[in-house]
């Protein structure tokens, strides 16, 4: 089977999503006879992904005080030694190979809808056509958000940075932490804040956590999140494991932070906001453990496509502001919104798509699982004087979202034109959700925005295009990804954001 040949090669994504989704789909494939609609079977990879991936892996036993920054750069920014033109070519090949494989899986599966085959037969060019990649306007110092961990460095000292996992746990029982101050992607203001927080950790009495997954007794400092805008306003969120600290002891930790960053040498960072969170789990949402503002402004603000948005400690924002504006512009362009269009913004975040779509749409439904994001979205709608045509819905679970979409279908019927904007980085779609998206016949277009090619994401495209089966009897005509628009969101990495135009056939 040719699928085995293509799917046994790992994709150049961190999660190796194509390999995983291929395992999910392989058992469903059949020996459907080849037709002209099928892509050619003799395509070869543009490069050897396994060899490329292995050349980039810096394991802990290779890390020394002298080479630690180089090893971290190879891990975080694996394409930093390539010219930018070469980077774009590699990313384009990754995206093209990914959608070539999902296209093959769709066309060769026994559940493929006959309408899909008929559509592809009359198309010129390849199925799942990938457009030229759009370059980033900024290729250095572009990150407006950095999430950093507290740990122990190669020298055994407390360090703020990124983890490098050990290959041999006997020789290296603790995960190593390496400072990111030499990464090309970090803003200079973030680097300054990292240097000062690293100094603060070294002089503070409380120990740091040794790794992200195993929390031991008497380990406190966990992570910080740095957010900034184009005006260089800086928000810092500090996460600490409370362990058995009393309220007075936790209050003293907060005072220590303020003494250093507001009254001490850390004031050089000019931080606008400092938030504090005591979190005993791997990650805590604000509903469980609220973020406490211990200094400065409650929010910072950013301008996207000439509209102003507030950003809170839990807001989802793209790491590259200039590239994000290209993504928003491209998404709305292919949504083709007019005065008769109803927009479903699934995974709305702080409401950028909803606010921009409300200008021309008949109605917008903004759906997000986080209450804080919904609050931000409502505020941003008022801040931009939006029309009163956005309904904000907090959906915490797959079942909740399923009911919402069914209700919208019943409310607007089959005579309205509905466009779904799906941000899979915010809300992964299950089979149940893709089923209900298909069951609402008024939805004629899905604009799928994704920064990853993991198993769930690629399986979404498969389920949107697959034919009916016993548990999908209510599914109507399928959706297929007709065109893919990659944007270089994170230069020097292997990641590319994609805007996928899915139409009903």
Q: Which of 209, 269, 386, 451 is catalytic?
A: 451
Helix ranges (H only) for 31-145 are 49-54, 68-76, 84-107, 114-121
CB 421 within 8 A of CB 346: yes
Q: Tell whether residue 423 is among the known ligand binding residues.
A: yes
Q: Give yes or no: 451 in active site.
A: yes
CB 334 within 8 A of CB 392: no
Q: Tell whether residue 345 is among the known ligand binding residues.
A: no
Rounded CA-CA distance 411/400 in Å is: 16
Give SS3 for 332: helix
Rounded CA-CA distance 357/421 in Å is: 10
List 234's β-bridge partners, or say none.
228
Rounded CA-CA distance 377/486 in Å is: 26
Q: Tell whether residue 318 is among the known ligand binding residues.
A: yes
Rounded to 5°, angle at Cα 70 from 206 and 16: 90
Closest by CA to 457, choosing from 485, 490, 424, 487, is 424
CB 92 within 8 A of CB 130: yes
Rounded CA-CA distance 58/361 in Å is: 49
- Residue 9: CB atoms within 10 A of its CB come to 16
Task: Give the rounded distance of the alpha carbon of 254 from its chain centre.
Answer: 31
The H helix count followed by the E strand count for the chain is 14, 17
Rounded CA-CA distance 41/132 in Å is: 23
Give the strand pairing for 221-228 and 234-240. antiparallel
- Residue 18: CB atoms within 10 A of its CB come to 28
Rounded CA-CA distance 39/120 in Å is: 10
List phi, psi (to 5°) of 233.
Answer: -70, 135
Task: Give the rounded distance of the alpha carbon of 230 from its chain centre.
Answer: 21
Closest by CA to 111, choosing from 474, 480, 478, 466, is 466
Rounded to 5°, angle at Cα 101 from 96 and 103: 95
Torsion region of 171: left, alpha or beta (phi above 0 gives left; psi -120 to 50 gives alpha): alpha
Cite the annotated binding site for S-adenosyl-L-methionine by residue number.
318, 368, 423
Catalytic site positions: 451
């Amino acid at each position: 089977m040719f699928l085995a040949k293509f799917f046994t090669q790992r994709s150049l994504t961190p999660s190796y999503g194509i390999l995983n989704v291929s395992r999910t789909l392989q058992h469903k494939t059949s020996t459907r006879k080849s037709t002209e609609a099928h892509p050619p079977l003799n395509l070869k990879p543009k490069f050897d992904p396994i060899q490329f991936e292995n050349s980039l892996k810096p394991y802990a036993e290779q890390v020394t005080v002298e080479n630690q920054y180089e090893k971290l750069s190879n891990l975080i920014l694996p394409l930093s030694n390539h010219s930018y033109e070469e980077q774009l070519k590699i990313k384009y090949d990754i995206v093209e190979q990914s959608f070539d494989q999902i296209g093959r899986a769709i066309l060769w599966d026994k559940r493929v809808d006959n309408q899909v085959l008929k559509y592809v037969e009359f198309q010129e060019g390849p199925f799942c056509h990938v457009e030229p990649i759009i370059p980033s306007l900024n290729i250095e110092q572009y990150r407006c958000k950095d999430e950093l961990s507290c740990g122990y460095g190669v020298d055994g000292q407390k360090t703020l940075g990124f983890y490098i996992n050990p290959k041999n746990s006997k020789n290296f029982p603790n995960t190593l932490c390496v400072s990111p101050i030499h990464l090309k992607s970090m803003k200079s203001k973030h680097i300054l804040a990292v240097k000062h927080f690293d100094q603060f950790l070294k002089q503070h009495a409380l120990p740091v956590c040794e790794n992200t997954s195993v929390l031991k007794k008497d380990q406190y400092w966990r992570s910080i999140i740095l957010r900034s805008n184009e005006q260089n306003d800086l928000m810092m969120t500090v996460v600490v494991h409370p362990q058995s600290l009393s309220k007075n002891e936790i209050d003293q930790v907060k005072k220590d932070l303020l003494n250093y960053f507001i009254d001490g040498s850390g004031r050089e960072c000019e931080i606008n906001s400092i938030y504090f969170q005591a979190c005993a789990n791997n990650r805590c949402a604000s509903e469980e453990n609220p973020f406490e503002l211990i200094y400065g402004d409650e929010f910072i603000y950013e301008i996207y496509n000439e509209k102003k948005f507030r950003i809170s400690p839990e807001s989802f924002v793209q790491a590259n502001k200039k590239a994000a504006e290209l993504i928003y512009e491209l998404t709305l362009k292919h949504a083709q919104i007019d005065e008769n269009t109803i927009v479903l913004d699934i995974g709305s975040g702080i409401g950028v798509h909803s606010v921009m779509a409300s200008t021309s749409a008949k109605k917008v439904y903004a759906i997000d699982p986080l209450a804080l994001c919904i609050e931000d979205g409502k505020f941003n709608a008022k801040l931009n004087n939006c029309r009163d045509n956005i309904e904000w819905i907090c959906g915490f679970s797959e079942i909740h979202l399923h009911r919402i979409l069914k209700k919208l279908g019943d409310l607007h019927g089959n005579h309205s034109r509905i466009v779904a904007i799906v941000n899979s980085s915010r809300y992964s779609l299950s089979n149940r959700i893709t089923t209900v998206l298909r069951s609402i016949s008024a939805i004629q277009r899905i604009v799928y925005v994704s920064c990853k090619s993991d198993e769930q994401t690629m399986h979404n495209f498969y389920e949107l295009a697959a034919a009916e089966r016993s548990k999908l009897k209510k599914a109507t005509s399928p959706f297929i990804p007709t065109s893919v628009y990659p944007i270089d969101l994170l230069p020097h990495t292997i990641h590319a954001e994609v805007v996928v135009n899915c139409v009903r056939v």
